[in-house]
Amino acid sequence: MRIGVLTGGGDCPGLNAVIRAVVRKGVKEYGYEFVGFRDGWKGPLEGLTMELTLATTRGILPRGGTILGSSRTNPFKIENGVEKIKENLAKAGIDALIAIGGEDTLGVATKLDALGVKVIGVPKTIDNDLNNTDYTFGFDTSVNIAMEAIDRLHTTAESHHRALVVEVMGRHAGWIALHSGIAGGAACILIPEVKFSVDKVCEWVESRFKSGFAPIIVIAEGAIPQDGDMLTKDQTLDAFGHVKLSGIGEWLSQQIEAKTGKEARTSVLGHIQRGGTPSAFDRVLATRFGLHAITAVHEGDFGKMVALHGTTIARVPLASATEKLKTVPVEMYKESEIFFG
Ligand code: F6P
């Protein structure tokens, strides 16, 4: 059997750990051959491949990013995209495909599965917003990066008696903001799922100052003020119709300064949250996903995604991953409010 592997969408720590596990078990236990497709769906679309062997996948476990490259290419937006993919898979002698990605990549995989391509999905995203899996790999690493940033910001905020706003990723789901904010002892956490009141944020800012500490406000890039809209960088859309978000942290700092008279600054963590080496949790989760994905291929159980349910790796219908977005339950967010202010 020849198996194709691709990584699509925003990169995240742990992608290489999946590739390594898939290849290691596939070669050693099943005697399979592998073909790496470059840059997400662009690879099978344009026939861009690279060798994936035991040798080429050694030493990559702790490396961030993806040795295969990634892109946000949407074959359904390209003329004859699906036909081209099918042709290139046939040319490369591919029997099955393992697609490692988030909402967009797995959305494409689901449609291709319905069109007869044999595919297994592996859930990745720092956003942790894929449905039907308790966690995606990459999330734990970014939460740790954001938490460390918050820890560092506490001391400089206190030295300067400033409010510091930390903008983290999360377009529609506030998982990174919630977890890093709780772990970092934020004075308030603002997520896309719950619209926020600027006046309430200012009250929390003032009460944190009164307690002798300086407030750190953690805000997800997609958070929305009660009487406003999501802030976007410009009007351009990517191939999956997403806008570029930017500016809510800076906007909030200005509001805090204007309403409280306290100095406020913003740090936007941006792609720092996606770069670098994966945490131990993500290395283990990504490795287990990889091992189970290749077993699913071996058993011919296509149209499935490997998923974490509790501590067990389950196999779920691929379509269920993108059926809806896994957002933060409001009750879970409310639990953290006791620490605000
Ligand atoms: O989906 C992952 C993610 O990191 C989001 O949190 C963020 O909004 C987006 O990707 C950023 O996209 P880009 O890779 O285009 O900067």
Question: Could you tell me the mean pLDDT of each successive run of 10 residues in the chain, 341 residues long?
Answer: 98 98 98 98 98 98 98 97 98 98 98 98 98 98 98 97 97 97 98 97 98 97 90 80 86 97 97 98 98 98 98 98 97 98 97
Return the CATH architecture of domain 2-137+278-322. Answer: 3-Layer(aba) Sandwich (3.40)
- Ligand 1 atom with the smallest distance to the CA of 171 is 8
List the chain domain ranges. Answer: 2-137+278-322, 142-274
- Specify the residue with its C-alpha closest to ligand 1, atom 14: 10
**pLDDT score of 230:** 77
Nearest in space to 22 (alpha carbons), one of 145, 128, 124: 124
Q: What angle do CA 139, 141, 145 make, to 5 degrees?
A: 115
pLDDT value of position 236? 79
Count Cβ atoms below 10 Å from residue 323 Cβ, excluding itself: 11
pLDDT of the residue at 32: 98
pLDDT of residue 238: 86
Q: Is the CB of 35 under 6 A from ligand 1?
A: no
- Contact assessment for residue 130 and residue 309, using Cβ atoms and an 8 Å cutoff: no
Distance CA 136, CA 126 (A): 7
Closest residue by CA, ligand 1 atom 9: 10
Could you tell me the distance, in angstroms and rounded to a whole number, from the CA of residue 223 to the centre of ligand 1?
15
Residue of minimum CA distance from atom 15 in ligand 1? 10
Helix H or strand E encompassing 156: helix 139-160
123: closest CA among 323, 273, 286, 324? 286
How wide is the angle at C-alpha 255 spanned by C-alphas 253 and 256, nearest 5°?
65
Q: Do domains 2-137+278-322 and 142-274 have the same CATH topology?
A: yes
Q: Looking at the structure, give the CATH architecture of the domain made up of residues 142-274.
A: 3-Layer(aba) Sandwich (3.40)
237 burial (CB, 10 Å; 0-12 / 13-18 / 19+) is exposed
Residue of 105, 125, 169 to test ligand 1 pocket, by largest number of atoms within 8 Å of CB: 169
- Residues that are catalytic: 127
Among candidate residues 16, 15, 32, the one with its CA nearest the CA of residue 296: 32
pLDDT at 67: 98
Residue whose structure tokens are 């996606």: 274
pTM listed for this prediction = 0.96
Can you read off the two tokens belonging to residue 62? 């702790």
Here the tokens at position 223 are 């958070």
